[in-house]
């Protein structure tokens, strides 16, 4: 499933005080060197902007970050037929899953349980159904949706360190709703391990470190999903990250109908797309959770989304299909 980034970065803008380096009078701190790298992966365009006083250290950190994304794709990408989850979906089982994949699937199952199934990585058969119908110029029938829903259910994915397996035929999983957030978390950890203190990671979701080149908080502009054209996005809101991760899901990422009533985000309980939300942005301590919660809030609906975010100790900005916007009090919104 192809996804586009919905948060446009605004380097160096923000509302926090500039940072300073404390040093003894005899020591002059070396200036930071900033680098930015762009590459494709996880179904989107990725970028990392990072700084360090030594260029060799910085380049090594960026190279390690890219290798981290490559490793994650080998395990979790539906675009790669030889990835671990592609083999699981094809064969119905996977022996000795890699520890990283096992941990992410286990966390996905925990979120599924805590959200009462609003987040569910076993919705892949629904996406396949809608994609096939779209190729035929139609929508699936109610009978087709109902039949496919019998192949969906996180409880029917059995996991042990030795084996992942489906309890029902025709099941499949997608990590597209959480893998980009997971990748952002892992890349941030790799950068920190290399001594990087200031960076902004974009894997389709966003994870900050430290401060921007201007010495201020990182600020991102949330794109309006109802912008006139994708080439001319309008900013619906500007948010200071305040050290937290940010993830966005929107109905214009992969729509099955021109009116975007049917798109890539499904309510696992109905087999249909949530009817009233156009975009959800979640701020949370880690990107894995933020990414998954965007789907939980979509399913919750516009009226309940902010209350559900509070239960998860997260903040959110939610855009209705009519263009109305609401946000949590905990978000630091700046003038557009």
- At a CB cut-off of 8 Å and minimum separation 6, what does 14 contact? 211, 212, 214, 216, 217, 218, 219, 240, 334
In a domain, 184, yes or no: no
Residue 15: its pLDDT value, please?
A: 33
300: its two tokens: 């919750």
d(CA 116, CA 156): 14
Label residue 184 exposed, middle or buried (CB < 10 Å: 0-12, 13-18, 19+): buried
Domain enclosing residue 137, as ranges:
89-166
In a domain, 71, yes or no: no
In a domain, 181, yes or no: no
317: its two tokens: 């900005």
Structural domains of the chain, count: 1
In a domain, 336, yes or no: no
Q: Which residues are bridge partners to 207 per DSSP? A: 201
Residue 233: its pLDDT value, please?
A: 65
Identify the band that residue 28 occupies on the pLDDT scale cut at 50, 70 and 90.
Answer: low
Q: Tell me the per-residue pLDDT of 291-312, one tens digit each, with 9 for 90 and over.
A: 999 999 999 999 999 999 999 9
In a domain, 196, yes or no: no
Summarize the confidence of residues 200-226 as an average pLDDT. Answer: 95
Residue 253: its pLDDT value, please?
A: 82
132: its two tokens: 């096939």
How much is the pTM?
Answer: 0.90
254: its two tokens: 């992969």
What 8-state DSSP symbol labels residue 235? Answer: E
> Is the Cβ–Cβ distance between 297 and 317 less than 8 Å?
no
Identify the band that residue 16 occupies on the pLDDT scale cut at 50, 70 and 90.
Answer: very low
Residue 230: its pLDDT value, please?
A: 58
Q: Is the pLDDT of residue 198 over 80?
A: yes
Q: Is the pLDDT of residue 316 over 60?
A: yes
CATH at residue 112:
1.10.3980.10
Label residue 1 exposed, middle or buried (CB < 10 Å: 0-12, 13-18, 19+): middle
Summarize the confidence of residues 84-110 as an average pLDDT. Answer: 97
Q: Return the residue matching tokens 């009078």.
A: 25
C-alpha count within 13 angstroms, C-beta hemisphere, residue 44: 21
Q: Tell me the per-residue pLDDT of 232-270, one tens digit each, with 9 for 90 and over.
A: 668 999 999 999 999 999 998 888 999 899 999 999 999
Average pLDDT, the chain: 90
Residue 4: its pLDDT value, please?
A: 42
In a domain, 126, yes or no: yes
3-state SS, residue 267? strand
In a domain, 180, yes or no: no
In a domain, 38, yes or no: no
Angle at 202 between CA 217 and CA 111, to 5 degrees: 100
Residue 229: its pLDDT value, please?
A: 59
Window from 4-13, 38-47, 91-100, 192-201 with minimum mean pLDDT: 4-13
Summarize the confidence of residues 90-115 as an average pLDDT. Answer: 98
B/e letters for 212-240, b = 16+ CB within 10 Å, e = fewer, are: beebbbbbbbbbbbbeeeeeebeebbbbb
B/e letters for 53-64, b = 16+ CB within 10 Å, e = fewer, are: eeeeebbebbee
d(CA 177, CA 179): 6
């Amino acid at each position: 499933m192809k996804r586009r980034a919905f948060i446009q970065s605004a380097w160096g803008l923000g509302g926090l005080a500039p940072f300073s380096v404390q040093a003894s009078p005899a020591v002059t701190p070396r200036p930071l060197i900033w680098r930015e790298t762009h590459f494709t992966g996880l179904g989107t365009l990725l970028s990392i902007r990072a700084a360090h006083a030594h260029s060799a250290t910085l380049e090594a950190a960026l190279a390690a970050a890219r290798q981290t994304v490559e490793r994650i794709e080998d395990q979790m990408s539906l675009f790669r037929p030889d990835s671990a989850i592609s083999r699981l979906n094809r064969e119905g089982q996977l022996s000795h899953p890699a520890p990283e994949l096992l941990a992410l699937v286990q966390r996905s199952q925990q979120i599924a349980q805590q959200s009462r199934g609003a987040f569910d990585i076993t919705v892949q058969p629904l996406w396949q159904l809608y994609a096939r119908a779209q190729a035929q110029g139609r929508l699936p029938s109610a009978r087709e949706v109902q039949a496919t829903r019998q192949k969906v259910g996180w409880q029917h994915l059995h996991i042990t360190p030795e084996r992942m397996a489906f309890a029902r035929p025709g099941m499949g999983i997608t990590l597209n709703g959480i893998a980009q957030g997971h990748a952002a978390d892992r890349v941030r950890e790799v950068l920190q391990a290399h001594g990087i203190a200031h960076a902004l990671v974009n894997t389709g979701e966003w994870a900050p470190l430290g401060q921007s080149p201007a010495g201020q908080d990182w600020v991102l502009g949330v794109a309006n999903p109802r912008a006139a054209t994708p080439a001319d996005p309008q900013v619906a809101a500007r948010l200071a990250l305040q050290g937290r991760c940010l993830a966005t899901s929107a109905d214009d990422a992969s729509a099955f109908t021109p009116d975007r009533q049917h798109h890539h985000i499904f309510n696992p309980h109905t087999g249909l797309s949530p009817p009233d939300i156009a975009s959800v942005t979640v701020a949370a301590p880690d990107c894995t959770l933020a990414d998954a919660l965007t789907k939980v809030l979509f399913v919750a609906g516009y009226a309940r989304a902010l209350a559900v975010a509070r239960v998860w100790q997260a903040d959110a900005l939610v855009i209705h299909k009519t263009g109305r916007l609401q946000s949590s009090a905990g978000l630091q919104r700046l003038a557009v």
